[in-house]
Amino acid sequence: MIGTIQLAVGQKFKIDKTPDWVKEVIIPDKNLFEKSDISQGYYLLLSDQQVNLEKNEHYNREVRDIVSYSGITQASQVIVSYDTTYQQLKVHHLYVVRNGEKIDRTKGISFKNLNNEYNLNQGIYMGLTTAYANLEDIRKDDLIDFSYTIVGVNPIFGKEKYFLTTLEANNPIDRIGLRVLYPKDLSYDYKCFNCDSSVHLNDQIIGNYHEITIVENHVKAFTMEDNVPGWFMPFKYFTITSMKSWKDVNKWAQEVFALSKEPNFDGLYKELFTGKENTEEKIDKIIHFVQNEIRYMGIEVGIGSIKPFPPEQVIKQRFGDCKDKSLLLVSLLKRNGVESAYPALVNTIMQSHTGTLSPSNKIFDHCIVKFVYKGKTYWVDPTIAHQGGDFKKMASVDYGQALVIGEPSDTLASMNIEGQHSVIEIKDEFNISSFTEPAKYDIVSKRIGLEADQRRIMLEQNSNEDWAKYVTDDLKKSLPGAKLLGKVEMSDDVVENVSTVRYHYAVDDLFQNGDKQSDKRFTGFWFFKFEPQTLYQELNSNTCEERKMDYALSYPLNITYEVLFNLPKEMMIFDLYNQYDNEAFFFDEKIVQVSPKSFRVIYHYRTKAPSLKAASFKKICEEKNNISKKLPILIYFSK
């Protein structure tokens, strides 16, 4: 079942008493928030988490206060996600407090178990189960008091521990409680990030445990600004880890990725090689085999969500996820003379800021490959299919920092991919023979490097007809009279990694009759307003206000956009050149006369960094808006 949620039969939880090691936190008896402070119709009187790292038990308790009728729907839904392959859900109590009276609903609670299959359309099967209950007879001003414990942790992590939790939310919380226990004879590193004097943190030894407690009262809603980079974590959060360095994480990863025996590739070699290939040709064939012939499919359940399957099994089943494909690629490279080949773990959200997190084996979400050939380093993402170019020219996604498994280091490796060739080149041509007849409009859209790889995937997933409709519908927003002539022409130079698409249109009513317009300025003229829609999505900005948080940019982005206008009459054009160069982007615009009846406009836009500092946003935003306002070109002729 693709893209749906499937109901499972049976109750996969048990009702049990609160663990003996848990300490009760007092619910605030006075609401300090105004109704106008609350955005969802309810908020939390109490959010309490207690974690026993030795027992692998995570206790949670929430007390929800429903302050308006709009909050009943969301507040009455109880949702808990966990992995049934190694975790157990224990429910302790469910109380509804109404008019000061506590109503015990614990025994009557009934969960539906929902298997989360929404990632199947991306080739990922998740082992998570969601226990879902829709509570009956919930009313305005009710308090819902629910507590439970999730027991167990993926055994692949062994004795190593890691825990991270936020200390703010997008709605107010009257009291946040956090308590973390670990054995007193062990030394763990912990930190409260972005915390101020309002956060009361205490660390003491009680009995056989270190006990870390955090209590925070009257926690206001935290609001994230729009378009914040994924790595930017401005909110308060707490993290604790048992691992002292990235070298410790690397040692763990080496054990997880270790092979119990050397794989047998004899059968595969007969399929891949003729026996006449040199080493570089073998490298190319190996990479393209793993990328294209091994289907991406992740079985993210239990140990299998972390430990890769053996290469021989992956070849046999012809599917695998990032870690399976990476280990297979590394094994094949090493067998064919590339000794310095390694799986590498990355965090696709934190990227170059991954090292700001505490060292842990739980923070990575993707696996790629690093190998060194003739003194030069190459990075390959084996999950990207249909990449063009040989391994020396193949484009690579720069994930910033990586844990290279098997390379001894106290730090993460900086990928530092140089010479990344990722370009968009678009050439438009208008051939306008008269003011009343349809104009011919041709588009040549070329993608190079990573842009070609991405387009190749999109074209693989869409028919020619679907792709043409998508592009034409988008074009009609600015040129309503556009009609596609014939089929879209597609060509793909896989060797040079250049993907080209050509479109041919006829455009009715390109020039407007000024005598029929309400604006009398155009009376006596034929006119056409050209707007470079390709650039608007990058140069249009929202209101340029001061920001507190960094702003994400489309990066890497390198666009060259040329438009040639062949006109029905002669026109004198004054050559023009504008340039804008700042810390975020480079943009220039050239207008040149080509002949008495034609002129060309050339735009170039290139981003310089993945994000923009908050302090620079307003100035850069205003510069973008200034450019955007000047982009339209008005072409007009006397009648």
> pLDDT tens digit string along 224-257?
999 999 999 999 999 999 999 999 999 999 999 9
- Expressed in percent and rounded to 5, the helix, strand and coil fractions of the chain are 20, 40, 40
CB 157 within 8 A of CB 362: yes
Distance from chain centroid for Cα 435: 47
CB 558 within 8 A of CB 606: yes
> Mean of the per-residue pLDDT values for the chain?
91
In angstroms, rounded to a whole number, what is the distance separating the alpha carbons of residues 336 and 372? 13
* Per-residue pLDDT at 7 exceeds 80: no
Fold of 249-414: C8orf32 fold (3.10.620)
Within 258-384, strands assigned E span 295-296, 298-300, 319-320, 341-346, 366-373, 376-380
Which residue spans of the chain are classified as CATH 3.10.620.30? 249-414
pLDDT at 421: 72
CATH 2.60.120.1130 is held by the domain 422-638 = yes
Fold of 5-242: Immunoglobulin-like (2.60.40)
Q: Which residue has the higher pLDDT, 457 or 439?
A: 439
Phi and psi torsions of 335, nearest 5°: -65, -20
pLDDT tens digits for 473-516? 999 999 999 999 999 999 999 999 999 999 999 999 999 999 99
Distance from chain centroid for Cα 344: 19
Q: Against a cut of 0.85, is the pTM above it?
A: yes
* Per-residue pLDDT at 461 exceeds 90: no
Mean of the pLDDT values across residues 81-94?
92
Structure tokens, 371 = 């190998």
Which residue spans of the chain are classified as CATH 2.60.40.3140? 5-242
pLDDT at 299: 60
pLDDT at 114: 72
pLDDT tens digits for 340-354? 999 999 999 999 999
